[in-house]
Structure 1
Amino acid sequence: MPAVDRPEPPYLQIAGNIRDDIVSGRLKEGDAVPSAREIARNWNVAMATAMKVLSTLRAEGLVRAVRGIGTVVQTRALHRSAHDRTISIARTGKVYPPGHYAKIREAGLLPAPDRVAGALGIDEGAPVIRRRRTTYAAEGRPVSTSVSWFDGAVASKAPLLFEPVRIVEGTVKYVADRTGRVLTATHSQHAAGLAGAEEAAELGVAEGSAILLSRNRFLSAEGDVLEYGESAALPGHWIFYEYNIEDGA
């Protein structure tokens, strides 16, 4: 049976647009978001719809009301996933929004473990580049720690991967640009887990604390895996995804 096209209600479309600006970093912590009157005027919707936009964003923990100012962005509970970082690269040219930064703990070449070889589509034991980083938000709060893996075959074209320094545009865009490929998709998996010794030390929590584990693959138009990543993030930080559900009944 053909699917029925049911577009999202206007308030969800507008909330999604503002949410994308927050997630990508175009709107940062403390920035004002449009008032209900501005939303109603700019989007040509009723005031009731505009008010629903702001209440949705408040319910998601992305904005808060400040007396005398209006509604402003708050990002303390926001965890930026690999997908979010891809959006940020495309919209701002930077992988991290203002106020967020990363410290590269190590970078080097080693034989590919089995799971990494499988993710990158190479032979076990083949050379891979490994980069470990910890990401911080405002006031130096660690929010996630991660390891990125790259096929060692890109080493000659992407030498910065061996340097323990930040790559402003993000490692995956750097690799894509240096190898003449285009980033087209990200595949992400998430699961609850417990912090091991390394994650606990980086995140400033007790070993065995609850954390969010993620695995991400960044794909080129040709289907090559440009980067495979594994990360651990603190609890209480939200990831946002939107899915369009088609009713085939």
Structure 2
Amino acid sequence: MSPQVQREKPPYRQIADHFKQQIVDGKLSPGDSLMSERQIATEWGVSRSTATKALAALRTEGLIAARQGAGTVVSDTRSLHRSVHDRYGTVRRTGRIYSPGQYARITDAALVPAPEDVAAALELASDATAIRRHRVTYNAEDQPLACSTSWFAGDLAEVAPLLLESERIRQGTAAYVEEMIGRQMRQGQDRIAARLATAEELQELALPDPSAVLVTLHTVWDEDDRPLSYEEGIAPPERWTTYDYPISAG
């Protein structure tokens, strides 16, 4: 069945998002060829100019490039930073947390006194404990791509004991917590800023000193507006992520 253009987004953006998702999910790998403009126009039932605009959007995001003799191919996606939103989408669609070739090492999993910012984000008492899980994500060449620290209320240690294990949770941390405590994720918020990397981040991400990093503070709430988790994600420089959104008049 041919893909269908919907009306909530411009047609070119829907086409670009379709191919972007295939790249993020690993269905299209670096070096794979994409459809030509003519093929996209025929497959999606749009004009050639719309197909051209879709490919231009992917090219601007660094996802595809022209290669002599091969047409348009998928670029090396190591420069693509996958946001938390991207990871949730990948898990829901494919059951995988990471793109093919990527993996994570859990370097720390412990019950510790909750830092002030964590206690505030999770609405904990000032003397409460919290579960800390720290991970570093790598590509197939064992190059570090990002690091992150997830935080959960300390009282989850009894009902979700795998949070304290230094092993990757197969279905993903968020899905595991949902399953064990019976609360569903309903809302997320990302706060994003740049700063200089700490000494630990320089070492984990193999960065020169000094280096800037992109910091994402991610909070998730359940259906009753209670915080479920809080995460600090660190991405090295020169990695791109893209956010698309409608703009309404008035």
Instruction: Work out whether the TM-score is over 0.5.
Output: yes
Change (3 A) 1:11 1:128: same
Specify the SS of the correspondent of 1:76.
helix
Out of 204, 207, 211, which is 1:205 matched to? 207
**Please, what TM-score do these two structures have when normalized by structure 2?**
0.90
Please report how far the alpha carbon of residue 7 of structure 1 lies from its aligned counterpart in structure 2 after TM superposition. 5.1
Specify the SS of the correspondent of 1:79.
coil
Change (3 A) 1:138 1:114: same
* Number of the residue aligned with 1:106: 108
Relative contact order higher in (CA < 8 Å, ≥ 6 apart): 1
Please report how far the alpha carbon of residue 181 of structure 1 lies from its aligned counterpart in structure 2 after TM superposition. 2.0
Please report how far the alpha carbon of residue 176 of structure 1 lies from its aligned counterpart in structure 2 after TM superposition. 0.9
**Range 206-215 or range 128-137, more displaced:** 206-215
**Please, what TM-score do these two structures have when normalized by structure 1?**
0.90
Change (3 A) 1:10 1:217: same
**Range 79-88 or range 49-58, more displaced:** 49-58
**Structure 2 residue 67 is the aligned partner of structure 1 residue 91:** no
Please report how far the alpha carbon of residue 10 of structure 1 lies from its aligned counterpart in structure 2 after TM superposition. 1.7
Aligned-residue CA RMSD (Å):
1.8
Please report how far the alpha carbon of residue 232 of structure 1 lies from its aligned counterpart in structure 2 after TM superposition. 1.3
**Range 154-163 or range 69-78, more displaced:** 69-78
* Number of the residue aligned with 1:32: 33
Residue deviations 1:121-180 (CA, integer Å, cap 9, x gap): 111221211011111123111111111101112112211111111113221111111111
Determine the C-alpha separation between the residues in 2 that align with 1:139 and 1:175.
31
Determine the C-alpha separation between the residues in 1 that align with 2:127 and 2:209.
30
> AA paired with 1:212?
L
Determine the C-alpha separation between the residues in 1 that align with 2:140 and 2:8.
37
Cα contact 2:25–2:100 (8 A) shared by 1 = no
Determine the C-alpha separation between the residues in 2 that align with 1:170 and 1:35.
36
Determine the C-alpha separation between the residues in 1 that align with 2:91 and 2:223.
17
Residue deviations 1:31-83 (CA, integer Å, cap 9, x gap): 43333233112210122221221122112101123344443322122101111
Matching of residues 17-28 of structure 1 within 5 Å? 17-28=18-29
The unaligned stretches of length 5 or more in structure 2 are: 1-6
Change (3 A) 1:225 1:21: farther
**Structure 2 residue 186 is the aligned partner of structure 1 residue 174:** no
Cα contact 1:191–1:213 (8 A) shared by 2 = yes
